[in-house]
Structure 1
């Protein structure tokens, strides 16, 4: 989509003449001083257009549509889609939808609910006073649009969801929606609704808005209804619902009651000690909302989404109908035919796979989100694990590709990339920036997409160049103060890392950021090898300086910082992972991991396991994945997890999210490093099966979808059988293909 579109952006007259606020800046720089009018926050606008169509116009009809911040689209009263994926105004997305089946000969209505949140957070690209809708309806063989956004549309602000002075929750992630159905426009989505009292929108051409629009490279989220697994009646009009698993979405029901009747709805990820919904959630969200009835039959339709498993409903009188209770679930499309499947005779492995898979599904929205509750943000570092797991869970590489581009686009703000993208929430984490080239290479190995690899190479080079300004005389990085130095999160799971990780970081030179930078440069060089691009190899000199500074030969371990004697788990994992450790140090490093196990956060577990794979310690990998100590996926299962947690246990972090896909490392590690199934050439043009199954591992069945087709591995306890689209290959548990 470009400026040749005939459609114009339309916006509610409240925003007419409003100049957008420039929100993008380095994290260490002050935020824009211009204040946001509070009356324009939490702004819900309904847009409508009716038109007459004849049968000849209803061949293949396509609607191109976008909105800022977000839309939900209805045609003739039927929900069609929602979006778009968030983006910066200079790289904004639109959806291209086949809507043929929703249209009829005669009168048709296009109805769009557009939400402008007005907050600066990780979830929406908002707070910049950009609001509006653009749409164009076209049909094959005709140059004139059937409909387009212009001044002929009608619009109205609905106050049913409250105003900008409402309470927010999470990290200002969303507004609490105290919905008042008395203020709703009933029937506004259908043809024939009387909108004569509505306003005409303000309209601007693309050339006046500053938007540059690109077709969204991923489909809109999948939306469907799910009935509760269990409904418990507590009183006359008091219900407790259990959906059986963590979900991302909204709760809905239908009720008829007297006008002004108030029903309280509480959502949560867990129950409290009294068996009631813990709506004041440990992840810093408060999901307690009120719904006021209109006197007609009302349907509860929250706009924003939550992360929850349980719902508690409290209302006066006997007016609730449990047959209407449902969750409106949303996530990136996941076809059962395309999805990865793993089933073992070992119940623990099944449980670990399931909680990891469900977290990946719940956190894959229009973008990857770290959690669908407190933050709802796409974090660069988290994507290392989420994206890798999602490739296997979904068999779909498009969301990984889009995520890589999202962060490439963020280099407009900083060539070293932002930690959260896209959006107006400015956060920078040095560790995460160094991981982006590794994500790019993982994507390439799975897809063979050489053109994209070539396109993204300058951004990978840009990260390397960005950090060079922190190099001292021996080549190591010191005083990387412009970005947060994370090492691991939360702080209490850094294994006593001996360096002041304040913001800005303390003076001096420490291990992890240097090891990650080495891995970053190493990966960029691998990318250039693939593309046959020449480069100067300065890694040997960097390695020499790294060993001289951090390696402690007497123990075979690596110190946290230049002048430290402390050797944390983290300080040894990355040198082992990237080949910085001398061969004679590998046994000591492995022994340290064996002793300390996961004395780290869930995020870091991915790197621990991958480092052990590089060292050939597959039995220890399996032991850690299936371990039953306090820092394990078993601990999550013992605490009732249906998706993996942000920390190993609910009490191990002060605000633990109970759905956090950065804990999904077992999915790629089991497949690649235990079962040993990998692409031998990019795009799975050749397949490698090198099983490293530990003695006693029970039979299993794995099914994944890759560009080459459906791959299955069956293990009967003695042999691993690889089933390809056109052949079957058998290998012993320790054999090679």
Structure 2
């Protein structure tokens, strides 16, 4: 460029005088105001005297750059947590999640400085470290397995800190503190969240020549590439507060920065040690720390939230002179207690979920449960607790690398438990008091069998309801929602389906929020499972109306929307690895209706848009209106791109993704369930789905049914639920199972479990749609009563809510529909009922009321409270 050029300080001065907001990137200084660049022409000419027309091109380029920068700033606010200057909310949130403070906010009790230099002081509830040489403040207590949470604020300028964990102190050494550290890197290198071994082996992950031992240099390139990924590279908020969370379970070490996992590594060098925080030694610099918490592991939720219920046998049969078969009627997780047999010799107890030829199947298919425990006669008086055999994966706290989080343990005092219906006692005499044997079944301590009820004119649907309701009860045994007896860990999608059904079957549901917190600390790998965390939080908020609970967890949810994988058009991109492994669509793989995976995936993007829509709603609820506006803008962009890019105009339905003409049912019922189908395309998508069979798993069937019930296809939905085909809940109940299955049939998943709650979707579908009760405002302050009867003649039931039960009883005869409704005293309801052809209006308690006929339904203008009878005329 000819002529004089402004230096950056001059340009910053002129821009600052006019606009007051200066951003510097790549050596250029710009002022961004309300999302656009502010150019200070008067000062620009005054200081620069530039007349060359080439400047026009530069200015236009800077305008574009500024708009791009503003967009990045906006997205940065909603794609990762932002921790405010006020620490109180985070403190309360961590306490509510079961953490113990390491710092009391008042003094340094429980901490010590092993060095002769360095100063630590408490200022406004924060620990401030000052020094002119590096030092560490460490706890007085050692810890082994734990999850530690620390918030760090680096000073301006050169700065480096970190969280020491399982570290050691050598009082006689110059470098007194050594061991594991989670790095907080304020330099342009951006290795925050890295795994460093202080004063010992150097960098572990990432690793680099000259700073790492040879064993770690083998993954040097891989680890550096991992830290070059934008999600990891940009995890640190350089000029604000950052939450570091470090989890140590056996030899597995995980480090997270602001909700982004940066390290998952196995190292067995240290099993126990102190927690520490670091000042790097820059003279005059103050390092700030707050909200220092720890949760010692393992955590066993069942200790406080689950009870063992003694159950008598429902049938006892002497099979032969050595074996007695006992039936407890339904499967449950537990073990047995029995009188100690007298005499000498040994015997055994066989536990099973399945019979074959009148005996427990000792070689059952797939992962159907069977096990045996030896017993000995005599030697003691009283009763024995006979534990079930231990499945190693159900107690594993450190499984395969990059595989499962820790299993949810049950209390050691129980003895081991497993799901079983039958036991065979082998080796005891015929006169042994078998009638005194009891199963100790584990259920939620607050479970109320009378909280919910459903019955209708279709007996098969009634049987399905009983199966699914009991399935929810039976799988509360761990105190959080787990995947039955598979690995005994929560999975996000499983937990969400379980949560919906727990709300509609029980009246004291704290397990949902407890499971949400567990999963935020122990997330799993599938792509769509992350947005399910947003769904879980939204469902809990709508159920409980607890704004404070939501506010305490809102920021952490930002990392669950998949926004970090989205592009300029608002749509999420899937890498080759995502397409091959992490994008689920449905599970097991054979249930995907031949879905074609592409870089822009219809199902993944449907989840992304739905999650952002709910985030916008929750952002408003917690007073984050600026966040809400950005979410809403992003949703608008993504929806427009979704429709333009993924809808097949010729076929009138959605294709699986960009680059394929294949259209699965999943690519259509997920958008329909999530409200993404424009009104003018609705009939085509719904009509096409009405012609399809249940070509999906029990998991995806939840959303297929949601799509049908919500869009006037209730008759189709009910028909699929009770169909004679093997992909239906009728097939499940006809099999004789008493807990829902992980898959429709063994042929679809040969290793399936017979005790999996995600197969129990009718437990929520029947109350929410057939009875028609759903919350329309947080905490059920307002309900929506919208029965979807299909071709049923009548239905009645009780739907639990935090305000009390809703009683519903409806009948449809010919063209008339009559609904009897009883609401809790402080609840109001928006009511709509089917509008058969020939009906002309609505009566409430025999009096005409104003109602609008729309899409085959009568929608009442006024809300209803208390007890009322609503009928069409």
TM tier, shorter chain? 0.5 to 0.7
Q: Find out whether 1:228 has 2:313 as its counterpart.
A: yes
Closer, same or farther: CA 227–9 of 1 in aligned 2, 3 Å: farther
1:271 to 346, 355, 364: 355
Instruction: Give the alignment of 1:245-256 within 5 angstroms.
Output: 245-256=330-341
Deviation of 1:237 (Å) = 2.9
Q: What TM-score do you get using the length of structure 1 for normalisation?
A: 0.66
1:635 aligns with 2:731: yes
Residue 459 of structure 1 and its aligned partner are, at CA, apart by 1.7
The alignment status of 1:452 with 2:537, answered yes or no, reads no
Q: How far does residue 458 in structure 1 lie from its aligned partner after superposition?
A: 0.8
Distance 2:427 2:245 in 1: 43
Shift of 1:497: 1.0
Aligned to 2:808: 713
State how 1:486-501 maps to structure 2 within 5 Å.
486-499=584-597
The residue that corresponds to 2:782 in the other structure is: 686
Deviations 1:296-336 (A, max 9, x none): 34613311110111212211555743023221100212443
- Counterpart for residue 723 of structure 1: 822
Q: Find out whether 1:238 has 2:323 as its counterpart.
A: yes
Contact 1:279 1:287 in 2 (8 A): no
Is it true that 1:542 corresponds to 2:626 in the alignment?
no
Q: Secondary structure at the match of 1:430?
A: coil
**Number of the residue aligned with 1:152:** none
CA contact (8 A) 1:395 1:706 kept: yes
What aligned pairs does 1:183-202 form with structure 2 within 5 A after superposition? none
Aligned residues of 2:483 and 2:494 also touching (Cα < 8 A):
no
- Pair member with larger Rg: 2
Partner residue, 2:371: 287
Deviation of 1:607 after TM superposition, in Å, equals 0.6
Unaligned runs of 5+ in 1: 12-17, 31-87, 93-115, 121-125, 132-206, 411-417, 420-427, 500-506
Residue 384 of structure 1, CA deviation: 1.5
Q: CA deviation digits over 1:352-389, x for unaligned, max 9?
A: 11111111111123444444322222111111210011
Residue pair 1:269, 1:310 contacting (<8 A) in 2 also: yes
The answer to whether the 8 Å contact 2:569/2:641 transfers is no
The correspondence for 1:429, drawn from 508, 526, 529, is 526
Trace 1:557-596 onto structure 2 (pairs within 5 A): 557-596=653-692
Report the counterpart of residue 600 of structure 2 in structure 1. 509
SS of the equivalent of 1:307 reads: strand
RMSD across aligned C-alpha pairs, in angstroms?
4.1
1:280 Cα deviation (Å)?
3.8
Structure 1 residues 269, 468: CA separation in 2 closer, same or farther (over 3 Å shift)? Answer: same
Give the unaligned 5+ runs of structure 2. Answer: 1-99, 111-140, 145-165, 169-178, 183-192, 195-204, 207-243, 254-265, 273-291, 388-414, 836-857, 865-873
1:221 to 1:608, Cα distance in 2 relative to 1, 3 A: same
What secondary structure is seen at the aligned counterpart in 1 of 2:490?
coil
Q: 2:514 aligns with which of 397, 402, 416?
A: 402
Q: Which residue of structure 2 aligns with residue 361 of structure 1?
A: 473
Out of 424, 438, 445, which is 1:312 matched to? 424
Aligned to 1:160: none
Q: Describe the superposition over 1:595-650 as per-residue Cα deviations: whole angstroms up to 9, x where unpaired.
A: 22211000001111112233232222222233332211000011112121111224
> Which of 601, 609, 612 is matched with 2:708 structurally?
612
Q: Could you list the per-position Cα deviations for residues 650-699 of structure 1 after superposition, in whole angstroms to 9, with x for gaps in the alignment?
A: 4431112112110222122222222221223211122332223234433x
Counterpart in 1 of 2:491?
Answer: 379
Cα distance in 2 between the residues matched to 1:683 and 1:439? 15
The superposition leaves residues 46-75 of structure 1 with CA deviations (integer Å, 9 ceiling, x where unpaired) of xxxxxxxxxxxxxxxxxxxxxxxxxxxxxx
TM-score w.r.t. structure 2 length? 0.56
Does the aligned pair in 2 maintain the 1:217–1:398 contact within 8 Å?
no
* Structure 2 equivalent of residue 442 of structure 1: 539
Check conservation: 2:317, 2:326, Cα contact below 8 A: yes
| Higher RCO structure, 1 or 2 (CA under 8 Å, sep 6+) | 1
Task: State how far apart, in whole Å, the 1-side matches of 2:766 and 2:363 are.
Answer: 35
Q: Which aligned pairs between 1:666-677 and structure 2 lie closer than 5 A?
A: 666-677=762-773
Give the Cα–Cα distance (whole angstroms) in 1 for the partners of residues 607 and 569 of structure 2: 19
Structure 1 residues 215 and 382 mapped into 2: Cα distance closer, same or farther (>3 Å)?
closer
Matches of 2:416 and 2:180, distance apart in 1: 25
- Deviation by residue 1:562-616 (Cα, 9 ceiling, x = unmatched): 2112111111111212233233332232233222221100000111111223323
More off after superposition, 581-590 vs 550-559: 581-590
Deviation at 1:2, TM superposition (A): 5.0
Q: Give yes or no for the alignment of 1:702 onto 2:797.
A: yes
Higher mean C-alpha deviation, range 240-249 or range 250-259: 250-259
Answer yes or no: is the 8 Å Cα contact 1:277–1:312 preserved in 2: no
Distance 2:576 2:722 in 1: 37
Work out the CA distance in 2 between the residues paired with 1:262 and 1:594: 60
C-alpha distance in 2, partners of 1:19/1:241?
54
SS in 2 for 1:256: coil
SS at structure 2 position matched to 1:287? strand
1:211/1:587 CA distance change after superposition, 3 Å:
same
How far is the alpha carbon of 1:213 from its aligned partner? Answer: 11
Instruction: Output the CA distance in 1 between the equivalents of 2:298 and 2:756.
Output: 31
Give the whole-Å Cα distance in 1 for the aligned partners of 2:298 and 2:362: 42
The residue that corresponds to 1:555 in the other structure is: 651
- Which position in structure 2 is the counterpart of 1:148? none
Cα distance change of structure 1 residues 23 and 629 upon mapping to structure 2, 3 Å threshold: farther
1:370, 1:379 within 8 Å by CA — same for their partners in 2?
yes
Name the CA distance, whole Å, in 2 between partners of 1:321 and 1:575: 59
SS in 2 for 1:248: strand
